[in-house]
Amino acid sequence: MTPDAILTLYDWAVGVCFRCARTGLGVTPVGSISTPSGDLYELAACERCILAMERERQAYAERRGFNYAPGSIGS
Ligand SMILES: [Zn+2]
């Protein structure tokens, strides 16, 4: 699957990337974290970081013999 095809699997909005800390670019939700005090922070990642994380997931799956399916980060 090409990088462009992988990116079409996600929904994009302008925001802040939690991974590289760039702002004002297209990001997609990847989950949330809650603090002990009860605050909830939504996390989102940019295209470059999504593709980096997809490559990591693919490499992990290949090492472990799992099936790899892109498009499921944050879901
Ligand atoms: Zn990023």
Domain positions in the chain are 3-64
- Type of residue numbered 32: S
DSSP 3-state of 55: helix
> What single-letter DSSP state applies at residue 26?
E
pLDDT of the residue at 32: 94
C-alpha of residue 3 to centroid of ligand 1, in Å: 15
C-alpha of residue 34 to centroid of ligand 1, in Å: 21
DSSP 3-state of 63: helix
C-alpha of residue 30 to centroid of ligand 1, in Å: 11
Q: State phi, psi for 22 to the nearest 5 degrees.
A: -75, 150
C-alpha of residue 43 to centroid of ligand 1, in Å: 11
pLDDT of the residue at 75: 80
Give, for all 75 residues of the chain, the pLDDT tens digit: 899 999 999 999 999 999 999 999 999 999 999 999 999 999 999 999 999 999 999 999 999 999 999 999 988
Return d(Cα 16, Cα 66) in angstroms, integer: 31
C-alpha of residue 13 to centroid of ligand 1, in Å: 13
